[in-house]
């Protein structure tokens, strides 16, 4: 019997939401509970670390209890799918484990239910299907007064990669382009709004060295000091990070016009129609030399399809260029569905994560993917 059927949260609203997800089709599967901690942090972002629960395997490897259903689903698909982009629709449910934020009154373990789709040839149709599945699950559970936040995890990475930004800021911004808070911090540094950190003699020395020489110098310093690196981080990675920090500390600020355009994109949020916000994204990207007309057309198709099947779903909806709470692995359309517009505690969340299967399999597998999770513990305003 499923966790959902046994759990306290297996109430009639939760069961109705589960039935709505099943109506969209899919195979019910069980997912692993323990995952490699380093992989989860790499994919979901270091900001998640304080909220994870850790364990050690028999071989000493650091593990963590799953904080969501998406990463274990991607792992399972990478390990079991016979071919890249083999179509699969999986219905997932079970406990996830996440420490509450400061001041948050909730249990550290709770049920999530969700739909994960892999290998769909039509990305836009799959995006719409998953969004509607989440919307219908919330409505089936009796949720009313719902608001929708739409975002795009691939928008800022695409713009930053395509823009002609001076180094080291282009690379620094690209490294955090999927994470709103980190992106704002790096941009503030690039604009000269944050105090420049003092760099060590070692950092200053390796700032202009090629990667091999920088690695050798860091390795030599560690050997002379009798130090070993903690965890799984290698000397090459440490040397690259030190050199990058040094280059940022001594670099000239980003030109004001470029910085202002990027800041407007990061902060962009609908105040009128969603279409107007999408047009503003296109115009701002054009100032950076990036053409987003194909991106704009794809969003038009998604919104039109949603309007056709669930016209009320967008009645209280807005668009943000990048969601502040979304996991780093979202690289396309992303959404949150929340009661009364309180997006700190959305009832449902989802989005596209085309790169994730490749990342969890170290590049051995590829698959287009999109999914959603619904949180029954938040039904009824809890």
Q: The tokens of 170 are what?
A: 């282009």
143's CB contacts (< 8 A; 6+ apart) are 13, 339, 347, 379
Strand 146-152, strand 317-319: pairing: parallel
Cβ-based neighbour number of residue 59 at 10 Å: 5
- The whole-angstrom separation of Cα 187 and Cα 26 is 42
Strand 348-352, strand 333-339: pairing: antiparallel
Residues of the binding site: 68-70, 98, 112, 116, 329-330
- The whole-angstrom separation of Cα 264 and Cα 285 is 10
Tokens 């009661």 found at:
339
- The whole-angstrom separation of Cα 297 and Cα 314 is 18
Nearest to 270 by CA among 328, 326, 341: 341
Q: Note the helical H segments in 192-292.
A: 201-206, 211-225, 235-250, 256-267, 274-287
Cβ-based neighbour number of residue 328 at 10 Å: 21
In eight-state DSSP terms, residue 110 is: E
The DSSP annotation for 324-346 comes to SSS-TT--SEEEEEEETT-TTS-
Angstrom distances, CA of residue 205 to CA of 151, 224, 229, 306, 330: 41, 17, 20, 55, 37
Residues of the binding site for L-histidine: 68-70, 98, 112, 116, 329-330
In eight-state DSSP terms, residue 197 is: P
CB 250 within 8 A of CB 190: no
CB 7 within 8 A of CB 364: no
């Amino acid at each position: 019997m499923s966790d959902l059927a046994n759990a306290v949260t297996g109430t009639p609203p939760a069961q109705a939401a589960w039935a709505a997800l099943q109506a969209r089709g899919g195979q019910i599967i069980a997912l692993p509970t323990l995952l490699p901690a380093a992989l989860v942090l790499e994919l979901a972002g270091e900001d998640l670390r304080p909220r994870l629960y850790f364990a050690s395997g028999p071989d000493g490897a650091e593990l963590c209890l799953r904080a969501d259903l998406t990463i274990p689903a991607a792992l399972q698909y990478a390990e079991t799918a016979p071919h890249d982009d083999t179509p699969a629709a999986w219905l997932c449910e079970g406990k996830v484990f996440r420490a509450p934020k400061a001041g948050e009154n909730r249990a550290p373990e709770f049920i999530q239910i969700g739909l994960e789709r892999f290998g769909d040839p039509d990305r836009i149709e799959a995006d719409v299907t998953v969004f509607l599945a989440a919307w219908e699950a919330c409505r089936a559970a009796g949720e009313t007064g719902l608001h929708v936040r739409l975002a795009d995890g691939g928008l800022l990475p695409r713009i930053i990669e395509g823009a002609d930004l001076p180094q080291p800021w282009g690379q620094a911004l690209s490294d955090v382009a999927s994470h709103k808070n980190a992106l704002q911090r790096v941009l503030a540094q690039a604009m000269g709004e944050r105090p420049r950190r003092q760099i060590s003699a070692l950092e200053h020395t390796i700032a202009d060295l090629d990667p091999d020489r920088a690695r050798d110098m860091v390795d030599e310093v560690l050997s002379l000091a009798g130090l070993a690196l903690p965890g799984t981080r290698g000397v090459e990675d440490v040397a690259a990070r030190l050199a990058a920090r040094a280059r940022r500390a001594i670099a000239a600020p980003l030109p004001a016009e470029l910085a202002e355009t990027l800041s407007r994109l990061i902060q962009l949020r609908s105040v009128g129609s969603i279409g107007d916000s999408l047009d503003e994204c296109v115009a701002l990207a054009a100032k950076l030399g990036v053409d987003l007309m194909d991106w704009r057309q794809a969003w038009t198709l998604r919104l039109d399809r949603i309007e056709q099947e669930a016209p009320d779903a967008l009645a209280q909806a807005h668009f943000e260029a990048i969601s502040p709470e979304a996991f780093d692995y979202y690289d396309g359309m992303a959404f949150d569905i929340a009661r009364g517009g309180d997006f700190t505690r959305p009832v449902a969340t989802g989005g596209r994560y085309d790169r994730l299967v490749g990342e969890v399999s170290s590049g051995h597998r590829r698959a287009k993917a999109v999914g959603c999770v619904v949180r029954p513990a938040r039904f009824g305003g809890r």
